[in-house]
Structure 1
């Protein structure tokens, strides 16, 4: 079956070459037949039969060309056999008319037999060889038996027939071997192409960004994740293959630091065009005299989540001890102060009791916040509607009655914005940020006000949430401290609200930052992660819930 398929699809290049050879040969033989000196080349020749056969052979060669062109040089086996049969008959007639085996025309049959071994199946190729040898052998034998033909001519024709069969056998064998090699090469090529496609798919879908660059910092290969994590370059386009790594000049500094000390842990990298903290590492590939470098780019928030879980585990053990060692005595102090408050005390003593109660309450709130931080569980991340969570957070703030007629403006044009986040933890973050904005607006203007706006980080198509207020803003001295634990500018604050909010964002693969423009202008910004990239564990949980 494979041989038949191969023979039916004769290689077009070889067929074109052989067709050109037939056309050239027939024209040459016709020209030689009309030369005055043809008798020198063809002893005992019948010039009329020779010229007529050569002319017919030329016409047949010319007719084959448009026919094969029409068939896109993929003729069936019948046409190929007919073409080769015409060649055998024509050459044998010209061989007979030019003096038989004594001339050199017989060697042209070997080319035709070799072509049959290439284009036809084994049986048909041997048939062409048999026909090509039968005609001269039968003529020589008939002349030997029935006329005055010599024995030498008969032996010569027999040897020539053996050579034709040997030629056919050799080319049949070589063609089979070449076919097997070609089939193996095509199979390996298909397998390599398939593996390359799989590698490209895996390479581009990896959550780790990878960039391969040469000694001139020309990018030889990179995946989609690397382009997205780094964001647009100075030319406002994502990095692509054949770009220069110089477009992100900060990475060159990291590279030189790594070359100086390969064992050093590089600090977190924050690209100026992206809000995602990145962990950078390098590795070299040595191939002969060529050295390429691989740049690995990882979202540092993934590592932060694991570190946060370890930190929460340790903090949980510590705060359980705090709850036992502090809350019980604190409760006793608070209870004793309440009893004293109910007694008949003068004004000075009453003020001292109020101080004790106020600070006892503050300490109790501090312990409560630390316990809340330590008891945080792993988030149940799912794709949730951001607008709906904002509305729920707005309701919670309004129902808390902490502010008088708070004005909470939420952008209603983005009701379809979705992002992966634990819904309850997102509401906790939003309540904290909204309350913080209302408090600072009221402090400056007397009116609690906050505005929530939606936007997209266009280069990575990530949803963003911006929270504005009308407060005093953050001073230059405090802009790098606002997310530190226990840092606060309020007399009654504990300084854990923004710290907890950022921690919650990080374990949900989001980023909370403060965009600082001036001391009186700025806003908090949450950049959510890609909805298409859920954690595998959470994706399985989502599937389980949908199945149920």
Structure 2
């Protein structure tokens, strides 16, 4: 059942809407300038106008110039906000009535057609004033127009005045004052009260509970701190990202995360600095912060899982790559097969010269390279389902070393394996491919006859199996390491730029982690395989 608004609420709504302020005064003054611009343009630029200033041109110009000066003075007083808003509001309306009446007299009186300016001014005035003030100014306007017509009758003659039109204008002034302050305002207040009732469907406590629930369920972490750095609000996502699930409130941001506090201080010193992710020491979690200053000298800190953001970005790149690979298989592989077949037929020709044979070998080698690029792209876009199992990693590494040395004609000292009994949950085919690509890269980027590859496997403190592949080659610079796992990034003229990218994707499929570590000599890759808890997560 709807509830009728009380008389106090009705009056409060009325008072809260119809009060003049500085913004209203500024709008009124802009309207006044526009009217004066139109009147001045018509009077000075139109040669055939027969209304403005026809009775007394000098008086019209003087009144118009005085009106412009008064309006410019109002611009200054509104800017300075002196005197008070109410004083300026009533003073401006008094001057409007007086000067518009003078302009009317100089232009022929009530017959000049300038009377509607008084109606418009009164309608605007009534919107931000009480009913009694609106009727007061309607009476003042009617009286001033009547005096203007009496002066015309006395000074000029009876033919210069029109008291019937004056009475009509006065009646219209009172009608406008009543319409704008009683029925129109009553309708506006009714809408305001109805809107206020519709907005109070939820009380303050319910809104607070709803806000808390929304913040708690956000995918992003939210931390609110005050000016002193004390945490006022933190949701469950932020606690999980910062490893503070069981930390009781209240606490300082330094207790929550020292690195986050350093980022907050840096953002306050340089608000336009580039936002960079930081790593939580206790969990190794990469977190991307965003700092939003609040109105009450506090700060809202928004935290996102940077690893998850990068994964989403990579998924978009993979989706584009998948669409491209389907076109590549049809548009490139078929003509490439025809070229390769033609090269083979020419090689079988009995009268082939030695120079031509060398050129054919170059063509054959490059067609094989193009085919390898296509196979890498297709392998990346059509990844098979992961078939994980508990794998004896030490046994797999020993078998891999023997097979790799056999297929590449390497001696046993070129690829050594140091391992302890370790096991992990991984797809053995994927792990074999990862090791194969890493060892092949070590030979490709170095002298394959002199490079020595060492594979070391052990179990970490967290019961995770770790594999390190280290070579004694020329190594990898810091700049190259930053982009090493990006697709189509290669440091070798014969590389496709997809090998290490595929390795990283295979690691992510198996919930493993690969990284390239700095090394004094050669390249050093570390693979951390997942254990049972990671696979269940």
**What TM-score does the superposition give when structure 2 sets the normalisation length?**
0.47
Look at both structures and tell me which one has the larger radius of gyration over its CA atoms: 1
**What TM-score does the superposition give when structure 1 sets the normalisation length?**
0.47
